[in-house]
Amino acid sequence: MISLTLGGVTLAYLIAGLLFLGAGLWAAPRLQRLARALLWSGLAVHTGALLGRWLQSYSLASQHQPPAGFGELVRLVVLQAPLSNFYESLVFFSWCLPALALISFRRRLEGYLGALVATLACLLLAYASLGVDSSIKPLMPALKSNWLLIHVATCFLGYGAFALAFGAALLHLWQTRRTRPELPGRALLDPLIYQATVIGFVFLTLGIITGAVWAESAWGRYWSWDPKETWSLITWLIYATLLHARLVKGWQGRRIAWLAVFGFLAVLFTYFGVSFLLPGLHSYLT
Amino acid sequence: MTSIRLTVFLLLVLALVAIIGTLLPQGEPLDFYLARYGNSAGAFLWRFRLTQIYYGPWFLGPLSLLAANLLACLVHGLPQALSRVSRPFTGEVAAALPERGRFSWPAEVDPHGAVVTAFRQELGRPRRLVFPDQEIYLVECGRFRPLGPYIIHLALLLILVGGVLGKFWGLTGSLALGQGETAQTFVKDPRRPEQALNFQVRLDRFQVRFYPSGVPEEYRSDLTFLQDGREVRRAICRVNDPVSFGGLTFYQSSYGAQPTGPIRFKVCRGEDCHPVEAPWRRRVELPGGQAQIIALRLEGDLQGLGPAVQVAYKRGPGHPQIFWVSQNHPELAGKPGSPFWQPDEYRLTLTDLPFRYYSVLQVKKDPGVWWVYGGFILVLAGLFLAFFRSPQRWALILKKGEDGSWAGRLLGSAPRAREAFGERLTRLKERLKKGAGS
């Protein structure tokens, strides 16, 4: 049921992406509104599917061991948040993209930028549905912590915001040779890159901090130079460079866009590369 | 030292060194590198301390420079930021702001109510200054924004201090305890003698629960802390739920099973069966003298099938074969492809497997943790100030004309958030115009 719903959401994102593309090509405000409405409805259904998965995961766990009392019930609900394996993290990642874009870019999410966001979300969701094991597995002892929800959620919101900055940066770099009138102007894209980077940086910082506090209580070390930790630090350093370059040196445009691209490559490696290539403490995600 | 170029350079250098650190396996013994990268390259990596990259000059060098850079930035900029923050927003300061609009109210209308409402709805509660010839309404937000970046830098320094404190004055070790055992020491470094505790810790009970699939669901150690043989405190130590006592913290890190006596097998060759007693990790001849076994490992619950022993079985000159013997499921021995498969003509079944669990605890003391946590809180506060509190100053100067009418001048600026400022200005003007006649 949930996988079917998510299939529908994937399709909605795909069509929204095409509509945004059409709206960008023919400068049609009606198409623009239609695309945005479709993206909103896809996001609403996606949210429903996430909650449904949460409920499913909770009811499985409560069948195994019914919670006694309200406190334990709340704890079980928090623990069973659908963020505990690779499939669930992909579904949440793809949720973050349209959610952050619609909320933080608002009406500036249009045309090619909208098409990029919707397509990226569609691809992530399609990969999750087709290429990844979607079964619900019981939680291992190390993951049984109230920090799980906030740590994973903040990290992926950060990744999502960086993906938006990456999308805006791509459109910016595409116009370096000559301005393309059908694309959002560079003057518009520049603040978008910055804004998305700030959101991502704050979330990534939160994600690293919550992870450190959790690691201190689970492993007795707030920092262990595990590959995932190190790569999130590398990502953090790259975006810190971007923010300093912009805020202190006043860099704009092309150079900032390149930094946003490099930063997102580091994000991708932190997420996929480390999980598949470098063994470590975070390897339960795959 | 204060140069931003240096900062950016150091940030990128640190990122690069960290990348090397994740691609090159860290903290392995010398032999590992010699075997993996060849003699000369392995020795090179070892000698230049690339194998301990985070604890050597490659990482700590640029990191110390970055700390000096942060400190210089703080010393250089913080006083300026503080004086900017402490400068009050007065009538004179307000009068120097750029003008954003003019309004007038006819003689019979009192503008005060309308102004306060408009300000409140758009900006927040205004301050009112009354002078003989004019009245000024003031609103300021984001006044402390200039402190944001300095708070973040201070916080990062605190975190680094915490790390140094932990490195030099902290300690970590591990402690393996069987059920019922009491420990007075723990292992700090496997190559050195054990470190003494100034109390004793006893493992009263160790419990492990499994999911039906055989994956552990939860494990816990019931500990009692003793001082001079007297029970002082009982505590339960679980994963994600450490216990502190006597300045040390105990973390449930793993567990294992070990036999409490010899393992007894029934070894059959066709119909010909004999009992065999196998002491732990010792070579034992099987009846007939043609094969030998060694009991290597013990699991309390292997794949959800109950207790099992891993056995190395050797017959003739070839390599030994490794398989598991299950206590509750002897029939698995005939199943090819399973880890329980016994390929040869001997058939081993367990008749007695006395074992107990032992618990592995991590022991730790880190006086730097609270510095690090303090740094975390300050980082968040600093980020909030720096990115979500853009400074804005607004003023409305009201003057009463000779005929009793009122004239208002709206002033304001927000150097760091022009876009948001513009939107607010439009809305505020509309609200004020609604109240005013013109």
One pLDDT digit (tens) per residue for chain B, 438 residues: 668 889 889 999 999 999 999 888 888 888 889 888 888 888 888 888 888 889 889 999 999 999 999 999 999 999 999 998 898 888 888 888 999 988 888 888 888 888 888 888 888 889 999 988 889 999 998 889 989 999 999 999 999 999 999 989 998 899 999 888 898 888 887 788 888 888 999 999 998 888 887 788 888 999 999 998 899 999 999 999 999 998 899 999 888 888 888 899 998 888 888 898 888 888 888 887 788 899 988 988 887 788 899 999 988 787 888 899 998 888 888 888 888 888 888 888 988 889 888 999 999 999 999 999 999 999 999 999 999 888 889 999 998 888 888 888 999 998 877 777 888 889 988 888 876 654
Find, in chain A, the residue whose alpha carbon is nearest to that of B25.
Answer: A278
Q: How far is CA B425 from CA A86, A177, A195, B109, B268, in A?
A: 47, 36, 21, 23, 92
The answer to whether the CB atoms of B373 and A213 lie below 8 A apart is yes
Q: Give residue A13's pLDDT band: very low, low, confident or very high (50, 70, 90).
A: very high
* CB atoms inside a 10 Å sphere around CB B147: 20
Cβ distance B85 to B146 under 8 Å?
Answer: yes
Using the Cα atoms of residue B163, residue B166, residue B167 and residue B173 in order, give the sign of their dihedral: negative
Cβ distance B176 to B358 under 8 Å?
Answer: yes
- For B417, list phi and psi in degrees, rounded to 5: -140, 70
What residues are paired with B326 via a beta bridge?
B308
Q: Measured between CB atoms, does A278 come within 8 Å of chain B?
A: yes
Beta strands in B154-194, from DSSP E residues, in sequence order: 171-178, 182-186
Chain A partners within 8 Å of B21 (Cβ) = 225, 230
The answer to whether the CB atoms of B26 and A202 lie below 8 A apart is no
Q: Among A4-8, A85-89, B211-215, B362-366, where is mean pLDDT lowest?
A: B211-215
* CB atoms inside a 10 Å sphere around CB B13: 18
B:396-415 residues touching chain A, CB 8 A cutoff: none
Q: Measured between CB atoms, does B20 come within 8 Å of chain A?
A: no
DSSP state of B229: T
Q: How far is CA B369 from CA B2, B98, B366, B373, in A?
A: 28, 48, 6, 6
Q: Among residues B10, B5, B26, B19, which one has the least CA distance to residue B60?
A: B10
Q: Among residues B408, B438, B424, B430, which one has the least CA distance to residue B111?
A: B408
Give me A147's structure tokens: 């920090």
As for the ipTM of the complex, it is 0.91
Find, in chain A, the residue whose alpha carbon is nearest to that of B250.
Answer: A220
* CB atoms inside a 10 Å sphere around CB A167: 26
Give me B199's structure tokens: 């109390």
Using the Cα atoms of residue B54, residue B57, residue B60 and residue B65 in order, give the sign of their dihedral: negative
Chain B partners within 8 Å of A138 (Cβ) = 211, 213, 215, 217
What residues are paired with B226 via a beta bridge?
B200, B231
Find, in chain B, the residue whose alpha carbon is nearest to that of A139.
Answer: B217
Name B317's Cβ contacts closer than 8 Å, sequence gap at least 6: none
Distance CA B90, CA B419 (A): 25
Q: Measured between CB atoms, does B254 come within 8 Å of chain A?
A: no
- For B92, list phi and psi in degrees, rounded to 5: -65, -45
Beta strands in A164-205, from DSSP E residues, in sequence order: none
- In single-letter form, the type of residue at position A27 comes to A
The SS3 assignment for B141 reads strand
Pick from A64, A241, A249: which is nearest to B12 by CB? A241
> DSSP string covering B31-69, please?
HHHHHHH-HHHHHHHHHTTGGGGGGSHHHHHHHHHHHHH
